[in-house]
Amino acid sequence: MSSTNPNAIQEWLSKQREQRTMHDWITDVGPFAMLFFLSLLFAVGTREFLTYNNLINNVAKNSAFLLLVALAGTFPILQQSIDLSVESIVTLTGVLTVVLIGEYQMGLLAIPIAIGFGMLAGLVNGIVFTKLKVPSFLVTLGTLSILMGFALIVTGGSTITFRNQAIRGIATGTWIPGVPNLVMWGLLIYGGTVFLAWRTKFGRYCFALGENERVVELAGAKVDRYKIYPFVLSGLLCGTAGVLLTLRISSASPNIAGGLLLPSIAAIVMGGTALTGGVGGPHRTILGVLVIAVLQNGMNLLSINPFVQEIILGVVVVSAVAMSIDREKIDVVK
Protein backbone atom coordinates (compact mmCIF):
# COMPACT_ATOMS: atom_id res chain seq x y z
CA MET A 1 0.00 0.00 0.00
CA SER A 2 1.44 3.30 -0.99
CA SER A 3 2.23 5.50 1.94
CA THR A 4 1.48 8.57 -0.14
CA ASN A 5 -2.23 7.99 -0.60
CA PRO A 6 -4.20 8.26 2.64
CA ASN A 7 -7.49 7.38 0.95
CA ALA A 8 -6.15 4.10 -0.31
CA ILE A 9 -4.93 3.27 3.17
CA GLN A 10 -8.32 4.00 4.68
CA GLU A 11 -10.02 1.82 2.10
CA TRP A 12 -7.56 -0.96 2.64
CA LEU A 13 -8.02 -0.80 6.38
CA SER A 14 -11.78 -1.01 6.11
CA LYS A 15 -11.39 -3.98 3.80
CA GLN A 16 -9.21 -5.68 6.38
CA ARG A 17 -11.80 -4.97 9.06
CA GLU A 18 -14.58 -6.41 6.94
CA GLN A 19 -12.67 -9.61 6.27
CA ARG A 20 -11.80 -10.06 9.90
CA THR A 21 -15.33 -9.44 11.08
CA MET A 22 -16.76 -11.94 8.63
CA HIS A 23 -14.29 -14.60 9.67
CA ASP A 24 -14.90 -13.95 13.35
CA TRP A 25 -18.60 -14.04 12.88
CA ILE A 26 -18.63 -17.54 11.42
CA THR A 27 -16.30 -18.96 14.08
CA ASP A 28 -18.10 -17.24 16.90
CA VAL A 29 -21.65 -18.00 15.96
CA GLY A 30 -21.23 -21.54 14.59
CA PRO A 31 -21.27 -23.52 17.86
CA PHE A 32 -23.90 -21.23 19.42
CA ALA A 33 -26.17 -21.75 16.43
CA MET A 34 -25.70 -25.50 16.67
CA LEU A 35 -26.47 -25.51 20.39
CA PHE A 36 -29.52 -23.34 19.87
CA PHE A 37 -30.78 -25.44 16.98
CA LEU A 38 -30.43 -28.72 18.91
CA SER A 39 -32.03 -27.26 22.04
CA LEU A 40 -34.92 -25.90 20.03
CA LEU A 41 -35.37 -29.25 18.34
CA PHE A 42 -35.47 -31.18 21.62
CA ALA A 43 -37.51 -28.53 23.44
CA VAL A 44 -40.18 -28.86 20.79
CA GLY A 45 -39.78 -32.62 20.37
CA THR A 46 -39.86 -33.64 24.04
CA ARG A 47 -41.62 -32.37 27.13
CA GLU A 48 -38.81 -33.19 29.54
CA PHE A 49 -35.92 -31.41 27.83
CA LEU A 50 -36.60 -27.91 29.11
CA THR A 51 -37.02 -28.90 32.76
CA TYR A 52 -34.69 -27.97 35.61
CA ASN A 53 -34.32 -31.60 36.57
CA ASN A 54 -33.26 -32.65 33.08
CA LEU A 55 -30.96 -29.73 32.37
CA ILE A 56 -29.14 -29.91 35.71
CA ASN A 57 -29.23 -33.57 36.67
CA ASN A 58 -28.82 -35.02 33.23
CA VAL A 59 -27.24 -32.54 30.84
CA ALA A 60 -25.02 -30.60 33.25
CA LYS A 61 -24.04 -33.38 35.64
CA ASN A 62 -23.30 -35.94 32.95
CA SER A 63 -21.31 -33.50 30.88
CA ALA A 64 -19.04 -32.53 33.79
CA PHE A 65 -16.64 -35.38 33.00
CA LEU A 66 -16.60 -34.66 29.31
CA LEU A 67 -15.96 -31.02 30.17
CA LEU A 68 -12.96 -31.84 32.35
CA VAL A 69 -11.45 -34.17 29.78
CA ALA A 70 -12.10 -31.72 26.94
CA LEU A 71 -10.54 -28.87 28.92
CA ALA A 72 -7.58 -31.15 29.59
CA GLY A 73 -7.19 -31.81 25.88
CA THR A 74 -7.58 -28.16 24.90
CA PHE A 75 -4.17 -26.94 26.01
CA PRO A 76 -2.03 -29.52 24.19
CA ILE A 77 -4.10 -28.90 21.06
CA LEU A 78 -3.74 -25.13 21.47
CA GLN A 79 0.01 -25.55 21.26
CA GLN A 80 -0.38 -27.81 18.22
CA SER A 81 0.28 -31.13 19.91
CA ILE A 82 -2.32 -33.57 21.22
CA ASP A 83 -2.92 -35.73 24.28
CA LEU A 84 -4.52 -39.04 23.35
CA SER A 85 -3.86 -40.61 26.74
CA VAL A 86 -6.66 -38.76 28.56
CA GLU A 87 -8.93 -41.82 28.86
CA SER A 88 -6.20 -43.91 30.45
CA ILE A 89 -5.21 -41.21 32.90
CA VAL A 90 -8.83 -40.85 34.00
CA THR A 91 -9.15 -44.60 34.34
CA LEU A 92 -5.93 -45.23 36.22
CA THR A 93 -6.42 -42.31 38.64
CA GLY A 94 -9.94 -43.63 39.25
CA VAL A 95 -8.62 -47.10 39.98
CA LEU A 96 -5.93 -45.61 42.19
CA THR A 97 -8.55 -43.67 44.13
CA VAL A 98 -10.51 -46.82 44.86
CA VAL A 99 -7.38 -48.67 45.99
CA LEU A 100 -6.17 -45.82 48.20
CA ILE A 101 -9.55 -45.26 49.83
CA GLY A 102 -10.64 -48.87 49.96
CA GLU A 103 -7.52 -50.90 50.71
CA TYR A 104 -5.25 -48.32 52.31
CA GLN A 105 -7.99 -46.37 54.11
CA MET A 106 -6.35 -43.09 53.18
CA GLY A 107 -9.56 -41.09 53.10
CA LEU A 108 -9.20 -37.55 51.76
CA LEU A 109 -5.48 -37.91 51.27
CA ALA A 110 -6.23 -40.29 48.42
CA ILE A 111 -7.48 -37.38 46.31
CA PRO A 112 -4.28 -35.32 46.05
CA ILE A 113 -2.22 -38.49 45.59
CA ALA A 114 -4.41 -39.70 42.73
CA ILE A 115 -4.43 -36.29 41.08
CA GLY A 116 -0.68 -35.99 41.61
CA PHE A 117 -0.32 -39.30 39.85
CA GLY A 118 -2.27 -37.90 36.90
CA MET A 119 0.11 -34.94 36.78
CA LEU A 120 3.08 -37.27 36.88
CA ALA A 121 1.69 -39.19 33.91
CA GLY A 122 1.29 -35.87 32.07
CA LEU A 123 4.81 -34.86 33.01
CA VAL A 124 6.18 -38.08 31.54
CA ASN A 125 4.19 -37.45 28.35
CA GLY A 126 5.57 -33.93 28.16
CA ILE A 127 9.16 -34.87 28.82
CA VAL A 128 9.24 -37.70 26.30
CA PHE A 129 7.58 -35.40 23.78
CA THR A 130 9.92 -32.44 24.19
CA LYS A 131 13.22 -33.96 25.25
CA LEU A 132 13.18 -37.09 23.12
CA LYS A 133 11.32 -35.26 20.37
CA VAL A 134 8.75 -37.98 19.81
CA PRO A 135 5.55 -36.60 18.23
CA SER A 136 2.99 -36.05 20.95
CA PHE A 137 0.29 -38.18 19.33
CA LEU A 138 2.67 -41.13 19.38
CA VAL A 139 3.89 -40.60 22.94
CA THR A 140 0.38 -40.30 24.27
CA LEU A 141 -0.89 -43.17 22.16
CA GLY A 142 1.83 -45.19 23.87
CA THR A 143 0.91 -44.02 27.36
CA LEU A 144 -2.75 -44.65 26.53
CA SER A 145 -1.86 -48.29 26.14
CA ILE A 146 0.64 -48.47 29.01
CA LEU A 147 -1.62 -46.85 31.61
CA MET A 148 -4.58 -48.93 30.48
CA GLY A 149 -2.40 -52.01 30.98
CA PHE A 150 -1.71 -50.96 34.56
CA ALA A 151 -5.39 -50.33 35.17
CA LEU A 152 -6.19 -53.83 33.89
CA ILE A 153 -3.52 -55.40 36.11
CA VAL A 154 -4.65 -53.57 39.25
CA THR A 155 -8.32 -54.30 38.73
CA GLY A 156 -7.84 -57.71 37.26
CA GLY A 157 -10.09 -56.52 34.47
CA SER A 158 -13.20 -56.17 36.61
CA THR A 159 -14.92 -53.55 38.72
CA ILE A 160 -13.41 -52.72 42.12
CA THR A 161 -15.30 -50.83 44.81
CA PHE A 162 -14.79 -48.99 48.10
CA ARG A 163 -17.07 -48.09 51.01
CA ASN A 164 -16.84 -44.55 52.35
CA GLN A 165 -20.07 -42.59 52.08
CA ALA A 166 -18.64 -39.41 53.60
CA ILE A 167 -15.97 -38.93 51.00
CA ARG A 168 -18.41 -39.63 48.19
CA GLY A 169 -20.21 -36.43 49.10
CA ILE A 170 -17.51 -34.44 47.31
CA ALA A 171 -18.90 -35.71 44.03
CA THR A 172 -22.50 -36.54 44.85
CA GLY A 173 -23.44 -33.78 47.30
CA THR A 174 -25.04 -30.42 46.70
CA TRP A 175 -23.11 -27.89 48.79
CA ILE A 176 -24.58 -24.91 46.98
CA PRO A 177 -28.36 -25.25 46.90
CA GLY A 178 -29.59 -26.10 43.43
CA VAL A 179 -26.12 -26.75 42.05
CA PRO A 180 -24.89 -30.35 42.26
CA ASN A 181 -21.25 -30.58 43.32
CA LEU A 182 -20.22 -32.14 40.01
CA VAL A 183 -21.55 -29.10 38.19
CA MET A 184 -19.86 -26.81 40.71
CA TRP A 185 -16.48 -28.49 40.27
CA GLY A 186 -16.88 -28.39 36.50
CA LEU A 187 -17.63 -24.68 36.49
CA LEU A 188 -14.85 -23.85 38.96
CA ILE A 189 -12.30 -25.73 36.91
CA TYR A 190 -13.67 -24.22 33.72
CA GLY A 191 -13.16 -20.75 35.19
CA GLY A 192 -9.66 -21.70 36.27
CA THR A 193 -8.63 -22.89 32.81
CA VAL A 194 -10.08 -19.79 31.16
CA PHE A 195 -8.04 -17.69 33.57
CA LEU A 196 -4.93 -19.72 32.79
CA ALA A 197 -5.45 -19.27 29.07
CA TRP A 198 -6.04 -15.55 29.03
CA ARG A 199 -4.33 -14.06 32.02
CA THR A 200 -1.12 -16.01 32.41
CA LYS A 201 2.14 -16.33 30.56
CA PHE A 202 1.50 -20.06 30.26
CA GLY A 203 -1.72 -19.44 28.34
CA ARG A 204 -0.17 -16.84 26.09
CA TYR A 205 2.69 -19.16 25.21
CA CYS A 206 0.24 -22.00 24.46
CA PHE A 207 -1.37 -19.91 21.75
CA ALA A 208 1.98 -18.62 20.51
CA LEU A 209 3.61 -22.06 20.42
CA GLY A 210 0.65 -23.40 18.50
CA GLU A 211 1.23 -20.78 15.90
CA ASN A 212 5.01 -20.84 15.49
CA GLU A 213 7.46 -22.28 17.95
CA ARG A 214 10.55 -20.66 16.43
CA VAL A 215 9.16 -17.19 16.89
CA VAL A 216 8.50 -17.84 20.57
CA GLU A 217 11.95 -19.31 21.02
CA LEU A 218 13.62 -16.30 19.42
CA ALA A 219 11.60 -14.01 21.67
CA GLY A 220 13.48 -15.55 24.59
CA ALA A 221 10.91 -17.95 26.05
CA LYS A 222 12.00 -21.25 27.59
CA VAL A 223 10.07 -23.19 25.02
CA ASP A 224 10.56 -26.78 26.24
CA ARG A 225 9.17 -25.96 29.64
CA TYR A 226 6.06 -24.37 28.19
CA LYS A 227 5.54 -27.34 25.90
CA ILE A 228 5.55 -29.70 28.90
CA TYR A 229 3.13 -27.70 31.08
CA PRO A 230 0.01 -28.40 28.96
CA PHE A 231 0.53 -32.11 29.41
CA VAL A 232 0.93 -31.73 33.16
CA LEU A 233 -2.24 -29.64 33.24
CA SER A 234 -3.96 -32.27 31.15
CA GLY A 235 -2.85 -34.90 33.68
CA LEU A 236 -4.16 -32.75 36.51
CA LEU A 237 -7.58 -32.29 34.94
CA CYS A 238 -7.88 -35.93 33.91
CA GLY A 239 -6.83 -36.95 37.42
CA THR A 240 -9.55 -34.74 38.83
CA ALA A 241 -12.06 -36.27 36.45
CA GLY A 242 -10.94 -39.76 37.46
CA VAL A 243 -11.31 -38.99 41.16
CA LEU A 244 -14.75 -37.41 40.77
CA LEU A 245 -15.97 -40.21 38.53
CA THR A 246 -14.88 -42.81 41.06
CA LEU A 247 -16.32 -40.97 44.05
CA ARG A 248 -19.62 -40.62 42.26
CA ILE A 249 -20.09 -44.35 41.74
CA SER A 250 -17.76 -45.57 44.55
CA SER A 251 -16.15 -47.96 42.16
CA ALA A 252 -13.76 -48.10 39.25
CA SER A 253 -13.27 -50.39 36.30
CA PRO A 254 -10.98 -50.38 33.26
CA ASN A 255 -13.74 -48.94 31.08
CA ILE A 256 -15.06 -46.10 33.26
CA ALA A 257 -13.62 -43.50 30.87
CA GLY A 258 -14.21 -45.49 27.70
CA GLY A 259 -15.47 -43.45 24.78
CA LEU A 260 -14.47 -40.05 26.19
CA LEU A 261 -11.61 -39.39 23.78
CA LEU A 262 -13.47 -38.84 20.52
CA PRO A 263 -16.24 -36.67 21.98
CA SER A 264 -13.66 -34.62 23.89
CA ILE A 265 -11.58 -33.88 20.81
CA ALA A 266 -14.78 -33.22 18.87
CA ALA A 267 -15.92 -30.79 21.58
CA ILE A 268 -12.58 -28.98 21.48
CA VAL A 269 -12.60 -28.58 17.72
CA MET A 270 -16.31 -27.77 17.50
CA GLY A 271 -15.80 -25.11 20.12
CA GLY A 272 -13.29 -23.42 17.87
CA THR A 273 -9.84 -24.63 18.90
CA ALA A 274 -8.20 -25.68 15.65
CA LEU A 275 -6.17 -28.88 15.51
CA THR A 276 -3.52 -26.76 13.83
CA GLY A 277 -3.13 -24.82 17.07
CA GLY A 278 -2.93 -21.18 17.99
CA VAL A 279 -6.63 -20.25 17.90
CA GLY A 280 -9.63 -20.90 20.11
CA GLY A 281 -9.18 -21.66 23.78
CA PRO A 282 -10.82 -23.39 26.75
CA HIS A 283 -13.51 -20.72 27.03
CA ARG A 284 -14.89 -22.07 23.76
CA THR A 285 -14.49 -25.76 24.55
CA ILE A 286 -17.52 -25.68 26.85
CA LEU A 287 -19.72 -24.89 23.83
CA GLY A 288 -18.63 -28.05 22.07
CA VAL A 289 -19.19 -30.03 25.26
CA LEU A 290 -22.72 -28.67 25.59
CA VAL A 291 -23.55 -29.47 21.97
CA ILE A 292 -22.56 -33.09 22.51
CA ALA A 293 -24.25 -33.32 25.91
CA VAL A 294 -27.50 -31.85 24.59
CA LEU A 295 -27.41 -34.15 21.58
CA GLN A 296 -26.91 -37.25 23.73
CA ASN A 297 -29.55 -36.17 26.22
CA GLY A 298 -32.09 -35.35 23.52
CA MET A 299 -31.59 -38.67 21.81
CA ASN A 300 -32.14 -40.43 25.13
CA LEU A 301 -35.33 -38.47 25.73
CA LEU A 302 -36.52 -39.39 22.26
CA SER A 303 -35.78 -43.04 23.11
CA ILE A 304 -33.57 -43.49 20.12
CA ASN A 305 -31.93 -46.90 19.99
CA PRO A 306 -28.51 -46.58 21.70
CA PHE A 307 -26.78 -48.26 18.77
CA VAL A 308 -28.33 -45.76 16.39
CA GLN A 309 -27.25 -42.99 18.79
CA GLU A 310 -23.66 -44.04 18.28
CA ILE A 311 -24.04 -43.59 14.56
CA ILE A 312 -25.79 -40.22 14.84
CA LEU A 313 -23.19 -38.95 17.31
CA GLY A 314 -20.35 -39.98 15.01
CA VAL A 315 -21.93 -38.33 11.99
CA VAL A 316 -22.66 -35.11 13.85
CA VAL A 317 -19.20 -35.00 15.34
CA VAL A 318 -17.41 -35.52 12.05
CA SER A 319 -19.57 -33.06 10.13
CA ALA A 320 -19.25 -30.43 12.84
CA VAL A 321 -15.51 -30.82 12.86
CA ALA A 322 -15.40 -30.75 9.06
CA MET A 323 -17.31 -27.48 9.11
CA SER A 324 -14.99 -25.95 11.66
CA ILE A 325 -11.90 -26.99 9.72
CA ASP A 326 -13.07 -24.63 6.98
CA ARG A 327 -13.05 -21.75 9.41
CA GLU A 328 -9.46 -22.21 10.35
CA LYS A 329 -6.60 -20.11 9.20
CA ILE A 330 -7.59 -18.36 6.04
CA ASP A 331 -5.16 -18.80 3.22
CA VAL A 332 -2.84 -16.03 2.13
CA VAL A 333 -4.80 -13.83 -0.22
CA LYS A 334 -2.80 -11.35 -2.32
Handedness of CA 65, 68, 71, 76 (dihedral sign): negative
- Judged by CB under 8 A, which of 29, 109, 153, 218 binds other proteins? 218
51 binds other proteins (CB under 8 A): no
Residue 33 touches other proteins, criterion: CB under 8 A: no
CA distance 233 to 248: 22
The answer to whether the beta carbons of residues 57 and 178 sit under 8 Å apart is no
Q: Are 245 and 159 in contact (CB under 8 A)?
A: no
Residue 130 has phi, psi (to 5 degrees) of: -85, -45
> Does 131 sit near other proteins (CB under 8 A)?
no
CB 285 within 8 A of CB 271: yes
Q: At what angle do helices 223-249 and 201-211 cross, to 10 degrees?
A: 110
20 binds other proteins (CB under 8 A): yes
Rounded least distance, CB 209 to other proteins, Å: 9
Q: What single-letter DSSP state applies at residue 331?
A: P
We find the least distance from the C-beta atom of residue 284 to other proteins, in angstroms, to be 16
Nearer to other proteins (CB atom), residue 109 or residue 325: 325
Query: How far apart are alpha carbons 87 and 118 in whole angstroms?
Result: 11
Confirm or reject binding of residue 215 to other proteins (CB under 8 A): yes
Q: Which of 219, 302, 304, 311 binds other proteins (CB under 8 A)?
A: 219
Q: Does 199 interact with other proteins (rule: CB under 8 A)?
A: yes
What single letter denotes the amino acid at residue 1? Answer: M
By the rule CB under 8 A, 220 interacts with other proteins: yes
Rule CB under 8 A: choose which of 208, 260, 292, 320 binds other proteins: 208
Q: Where do contacts with other proteins occur on this chain (CB under 8 A)?
A: 1-5, 8-9, 11-20, 198-204, 207-208, 211-212, 214-222, 278-279, 329, 332, 334
